[in-house]
Amino acid sequence: MPRLEASLAQLRLWDQGLCVRINHAMRIRFVHRGLGLVSRLGDGIFWYALMLALLALEGARAAKPVLHMIATGLVCTAIYKWLKSRTSRPRPYAVDRAVRAGADALDPFSFPSGHTLHAVAFSMVAAAYYPPLAWLLAPFTLLVAASRVVLGLHYPSDVLAGAALGALIAQGSLSL
């Protein structure tokens, strides 16, 4: 057991150190502003706009994909809120003075990244119905994930966990 605890402690130090280094990118004005905008769009604005655009362009044919995205989003929200309440991991800027918050947090906890979880899940579901959208959704999802660490709101492990959960939830919903 001491070996496992030592390994976990080492992993936490690596995660924190990487978070600090990535957060330094926020010092570059256009990076801070650009990823701040991406993060804000990832709050839901981008996904709601996508669903409305699909309905406007495809009409009734988009109902199934949009309802699928909504159902997936609800499952994602329930799971990430449950996990955040159980882990109660503080955000990096609340723990380390070297990390600056580049945006307002939606809640005090960081694990997992809900933005990344939703971005991966929504992208996978939307791309399953509309494969040509993948060229737009994949880069946006990567930017959402990066923004969360650069802005000091999440550790890299929070983002990786959010991405993995989002992929599992999306894949599960697409398998049904």
- Residues 96, 43, 46, CA angle at the centre, nearest 5°? 140
Domain count, the chain: 1
What is the model's pLDDT at position 5?
81
Q: 19 in a domain, yes or no?
A: no
Q: 142 in a domain, yes or no?
A: yes
Which residue type, as a one-letter code, is found at position 80?
A: Y
Q: 124 in a domain, yes or no?
A: yes
- How far is the first Cα of the chain from the last one, in angstroms, to the nearest whole number? 40
What residue numbers bound the domain in which 109 lies? Answer: 28-175
Q: 65 in a domain, yes or no?
A: yes
What is the model's pLDDT at position 2?
78
What is the model's pLDDT at position 7?
76
What is the model's pLDDT at position 110?
93
Handedness of CA 143, 141, 137, 115 (dihedral sign): negative
- Using left for φ > 0, alpha for ψ between -120 and 50, and beta otherwise, residue 88 falls in left
pLDDT per residue of the chain (176 residues) written in tens, 0 to 9: 678 788 778 888 899 999 999 999 999 999 999 999 999 999 999 999 999 999 999 999 999 999 999 999 999 999 999 999 999 999 999 999 999 999 999 899 999 999 999 999 999 999 999 999 999 999 999 999 999 999 999 999 999 999 999 999 999 999 98
Structure tokens of 64? 């199934």
Q: 114 in a domain, yes or no?
A: yes
pTM of structure: 0.94
Q: 45 in a domain, yes or no?
A: yes
Q: 82 in a domain, yes or no?
A: yes
Among the listed residues 13, 159, 6, 24, the one whose alpha carbon sits nearest the alpha carbon of residue 95? 13
What is the model's pLDDT at position 1?
61
Name the H helices within the chain: 2-23, 29-40, 46-58, 63-87, 92-95, 114-129, 134-150, 156-175
What is the model's pLDDT at position 72?
98
> Which letter, b or e, does each residue of 9-43 get, where b requires 16 or more Cβ atoms within 10 Å of its Cβ?
eeeeeebbeebbebbeebeeeebbeebbebbebbe
What is the model's pLDDT at position 65?
98
Q: 21 in a domain, yes or no?
A: no
Cβ–Cβ contacts within 10 Å for residue 126, how many? 24
